[in-house]
A and B are shown apart, each in its own frame.
Chain A
Amino acid sequence: MHMDKCIEIVQFADELKQKFGEVEIDPIKESDLIEIDKINGKPVYSLK
C-alpha cells in the first residue's frame, strides 16, 4: 500500500475515533464473532 494511502487510512480511523470515542464503544474481539456462512468464498459472520 502506498504511503499516501496509509496516511489517508490512519487519518480516517482517527476521525472516526474522535467521533465515536466519546460514546465508549465496546471493542470487538475475534471471540465475539462466529462464522455462519460463506458467499463467493468470503465468510459471513454473526455477533454472538
Chain B
Amino acid sequence: MANQYIPSSDEIVNIKKGSSPSKVIDEGDSLDIDTKVHSFYWPLDGYKKDDYEPVGINGKIAFTRFHYHGLCIWEKFSVSEGKPIVTFSPIVHTPILCTQSKPIFRYPSDLKRRIELYFLLGILKKNKINSNLKYELENYSNKLVNEDVPEKSLFTLKDIKYLVLITENKKIEDLDINDIMKEKLEKIFSEQ
C-alpha cells in the first residue's frame, strides 16, 4: 500500500514529495519575533557540508533564509490542511513557498549581498512562483530530532542584511505582524 500523507500536528509546513530533508530540528523562536522555526537539514548543499534551511511561521507570515544574509518574507501563500506548502530547490535546498505573490526588494548597498540577491532572484524566477496545490506532499514528523542547531546556522536576525518580500502588501508596515517585528524588519529594509 502506498504511503498515505497524513499531516502531523508537530509539523509547521507541508513538504512537496521528493524534496525532503535528512532531519528536522525545532529551533523554537530563534528569530525572537514570536515565530516557530523548523530547521531542515541535509548533509550537503552541493559542495559544502551541513546545510540547515530554516522556515519560520508566524500566523499568516512565513520567513525563510537565503545564504545566511537574506531574509525572505512570505505572505498569501497556498495552504493545505492549514499549513504552507514548501518545496526545497534541488542541490542547494533553498526553501520556496507556493504562492502567486511576486518578490519585492531593494538592492543591498554591499556588493556581495547584491550578488547573493541576484542568485536568489534567479532561483525564484526559475521556480516560477505558483500556488500549486496539486503537489504530492509528505510527512516529516518522523524526521524531527531533539538536537541543537549549531550557533552559526541558527535562524536569527543578527546576520540578516537584506529582505525580499514575497507578499501582496508592498510595505512592511502593512504586513500582519506585531509592531516590534515591524520595527526590526523596517530597520533592516531601510538600511540595506
Binding site for B on A (CB under 8 A): 9, 12-13, 16, 18-20, 22-28, 32, 36-37, 39-40, 42-48
Q: Is the interface of A mostly helix, strand, loop or mixed?
A: mixed
Q: Is the interface of B mostly helix, strand, loop or mixed?
A: mixed
0/1 per residue, B94-115, Cβ < 8 Å to A?
A: 0000000011111100011001
A26 contacts across to B, CB distance below 8 A = 122, 125-126
Nearest B-chain residue to A8, judged by Cβ: B112
Once bound together, how far apart are the Cα atoms of A42 and B119, in whole Å?
A: 21
A-B contact pairs, 24 of them (CB 8 A): A9-B115, A12-B112, A13-B115, A16-B115, A23-B89, A25-B125, A26-B125, A27-B122, A28-B118, A28-B122, A32-B121, A32-B125, A36-B170, A37-B170, A39-B106, A40-B190, A42-B106, A43-B107, A44-B106, A45-B104, A45-B105, A45-B106, A46-B104, A46-B105
Contact of B126 among A18, A24, A48 (CB under 8 A): A24
The answer to whether B48 has its CB under 8 Å from any CB of chain A is yes
Binding site for A on B (CB under 8 A): 45-48, 67, 89-92, 102-107, 111-112, 115-116, 118-119, 121-126, 170-171, 189-190
A22 contacts across to B, CB distance below 8 A = 46, 91-92
Contact of A47 among B48, B106, B121 (CB under 8 A): B121
